[in-house]
Amino acid sequence: MALSAWMVAACVALPAGSDRITAGDLARASAAFASVDPAAMAGWAPVPGVTRILRVSELRRLALRLGSRVAPEDDICVERRVAPLDPARVLAALRTQIPDTDISLIDFSRAPAPDGEIVFPPNGRRRAPEGFYWKGYVRYGGRKFPIWARLRVPATRVVVAAAALAPGRPIAADQLRAETRDGVLLPGILRAPEEALGKWPRRTIPAGVPLEARWLDQAPEVVRGDPVRVEIWSGGAHLRLDARAETTAPLGARVAVRNPANQRRFFGRVTGKGLVSARPAEAAAGETP
């Protein structure tokens, strides 16, 4: 005899990350599905927190289609496994975004969530009266279950631009200062001026703005217009010539140089401060102005 929804005693809990109800899932509640392919699809999984009742009439049609010789006798209840969020896992997920910041958890969403990976994307945070409010989600079965967290960030030491920093120029000591600021939550924030000295900004950084590592590049070994020593190797032969850099490049990068003797332009690779290595074919096939 079919049971009404409220009389179904125990529900089949679907595996974590599953978006489908399979015959193997139903076999845990009904012998009618024990003899069929356990991977055969029986339906779509309900959303977290919602119970799906498969009625006897539906189950009998399904068993017949899957080749079972046994007819189901009762309804089957199916649900996703949900549980309250573990605060330690929530805090650990937040720290993956800001590993160098000492944060504490004030509160987080209490709705039971499905099993899955806890994710707090960088664009999900905003300032709140007591710190930061961060929207995230639990990734399960190709879907996202929304969650949130509120966290506190203590005062921290940061490096700020004492004056506007222009791109394409090395940063000098008098352009930086260290300050203690309350509630700064930025990944890769610099804590000491030495971390920025000599580096080149990728863009203009206004005065008073805390510096982030992603805004800075290592100082190039070759700067456009600088004289460079080019070494050309061919078997046992070794040729050196003086040239002028036509592009700016860091260590290991490709750089354009021009031979002042014949005005030919060719390419090499930066091997050190003011040093470039080139193949004979590159130097011979240089471009004329």
Report the distance separating Cα 141 and Cα 148, nearest Å. Answer: 20
164: nearest Cα among 121, 126, 211, 124 = 211
Please check whether residue 33 is in contact with residue 26, taking contact to mean a CB–CB distance below 8 angstroms.
Answer: yes
Q: What is the pLDDT of residue 81?
A: 83
pLDDT tens, per residue, the chain with 289 residues:
444 444 554 689 887 777 889 999 999 999 999 999 999 999 988 888 788 999 999 999 999 999 998 999 999 999 888 889 999 999 999 988 887 677 889 999 999 998 889 999 988 888 877 778 999 999 987 789 999 999 888 777 889 999 999 988 889 999 999 988 776 666 678 888 999 998 999 899 999 998 988 899 888 889 899 899 999 877 777 888 899 999 988 888 899 999 888 888 999 999 999 999 988 765 555 554 4
Burial class from Cβ neighbours inside 10 Å (0-12, 13-18, 19+) for residue 193 reads middle
Assign 56 to helix, strand or coil. Answer: helix
Span(s) in the chain for CATH 2.30.30.760: 227-284
Class for domain 158-217, per CATH?
Answer: alpha beta
pTM for the predicted model, two decimal places: 0.53
Report the CATH number of the 227-284 domain. 2.30.30.760
Span(s) in the chain for CATH 3.90.1210.10: 158-217
Q: What is the pLDDT of residue 282?
A: 57
Report the distance separating Cα 158 and Cα 240, nearest Å. Answer: 46
